[in-house]
Chain A
Amino acid sequence: AQSVTQPDIHITVSEGASLELRCNYSYGATPYLFWYVQSPGQGLQLLLKYFSGDTLVQGIKGFEAEFKRSQSSFNLRKPSVHWSDAAEYFCAVGGENTGFQKLVFGTGTRLLVSP
């Protein structure tokens, strides 16, 4: 079965510090991987996505993620966090096994940014 694990429910980072949010997936075929961000009271917005090619992908707002097939991971990183990055972050996987369109989401990681 397809699944996504985000092991950290909450993470607190100081403003200006670096950030890494973990995502592990289980998928029986080539995965397509996504990171979405949800600000309070808002819908989900796509940060970045991986389909193929370069395993380090760049996204909006200075975020990047690295696909590591051997570790079944797709961790999200940012070198310097801003207070406006406080939000909930969701990792998702899709691909052939789920008809390409259907995504399986993780439970999310809530990021808190301290001054």
Chain B
Amino acid sequence: DAGVIQSPRHEVTEMGQEVTLRCKPISGHDYLFWYRQTMMRGLELLIYFNNNVPIDDSGMPEDRFSAKMPNASFSTLKIQPSEPRDSAVYFCASSLWGGAGGRNEQFFGPGTRLTVL
């Protein structure tokens, strides 16, 4: 399996521009997570999906951020308009429901390093 795939790996944009980050989860996984990592705030969960449906978006910082999962093999995280404080590494992770007993390991992608100038 190729693992979780994210694109692009690096993105440099100017303030005010729209940014779209992409994620392909591991085939067969039914949960997908978007995280943001910064030096100041560490690893933050932004939103997660189950079977393509958003379950918890309480971590999305503001209305400029939106995430979609149109099908089981693709998700996007969009920032519009982008601001310099959005500069961070954004990770996508996926997992497979293992029942109430656990076994719910999250597999992480390599991340997208976003720089907003």
Identify the A interface with B (CB < 8 A). Answer: 32, 34, 36, 41-46, 49, 51-52, 90, 94-96, 99-103, 105-108
Contacts and interface: CB of A to CB of B under 8 A. Distances in A.
13 contacts: A42-B110, A43-B110, A43-B111, A46-B105, A46-B107, A49-B105, A51-B102, A52-B101, A96-B100, A99-B55, A101-B48, A101-B104, A106-B42
Nearest to B100: A100
Contact of B56 (A34, A42, A102, A106): A102
Interface of B: 4, 31, 42-43, 45, 48, 50, 55-56, 91, 93, 95, 97, 100-111
Contacts of A107: 42
B95 A101 contact: yes
Given A43-B110, A101-B97, A103-B45, 13 more contacts: A32-B104, A42-B110, A42-B111, A43-B109, A44-B108, A45-B108, A49-B102, A95-B102, A101-B31, A101-B104, A102-B56, A105-B43, A107-B42
Residue of B31, B97, B103, B108 most packed against chain A (CB within 10 A): B108
A102 B93 CA distance: 11
B104 A94 contact: yes
Residue of B4, B31, B55, B106 most packed against chain A (CB within 10 A): B106
A105 B100 contact: no
A25 to B, nearest CB: 15
Given A108-B42, A108-B43, A100 B4 contact: no
Nearest to B98: A100
Given A43-B4, A43-B111, A105 B42 contact: yes
Given A43-B4, A102-B56, A32 B102 contact: yes
Nearest to A50: B102
Contacts of B50: 101
B101 A51 contact: yes
A102 B55 CA distance: 10
A75 B102 CA distance: 20
